[in-house]
A = this chain, B = another copy of it.
Amino acid sequence: MRIGELARLADVTTRTLRHYDELGLLTGRRGANGYRVYDDADLRTVREIRMLVGLGFALEDTRPFVECLRAGHERAASCPDSLAVLRRRIAEVDDSVDRLHEVRGELTRQLGEASRARCEFSGIDP
């Protein structure tokens, strides 16, 4: 299939697929006329990339998964490099959640103090 059809099937734009090509992430074959030619494996790969991006991975971090698929593995995450990136991402998410909890605490503290200040100003007892 050509780039337009793959884009429709994978629900991305052709620009996105060309971008992946530029990055060497999804380097399809070329037809005699210079057109990019893709197959079902490429569709599978794009879907994998989009799933990972949806989980917060940078495109560069999806590379091990893509290569794992290209190596013939059923599951893109089953290669050592993929697993390492996966675990790293989990650690990042945990850190983010921790930081957000701290931030949330500080935000509510600020909200409470500001509300009290407004009540005093209005002469309202909290």
CB within 8 Å of B: which residues of A?
55-56, 73-75, 77-78, 82-83, 86-87, 89-90, 93-94, 96-97, 100-101, 103-104, 106-108, 110-111, 113-115, 117-118, 121
Contact = CB atoms under 8 A, between A and B. Distances in A.
Contact of A93 (B75, B103, B118): B103
Given A78-B114, A86-B114, A117-B74, A97 B104 contact: yes
A77 B110 CA distance: 7
Interface SS of A by simple majority: helix
Contact of A83 (B73, B75, B90, B111): B111
Given A56-B103, A74-B117, A75-B114, 20 more contacts: A73-B117, A75-B117, A77-B117, A78-B114, A78-B117, A78-B118, A83-B111, A87-B111, A90-B104, A90-B107, A90-B108, A93-B100, A93-B104, A93-B107, A96-B96, A96-B100, A97-B97, A97-B100, A97-B104, A100-B100
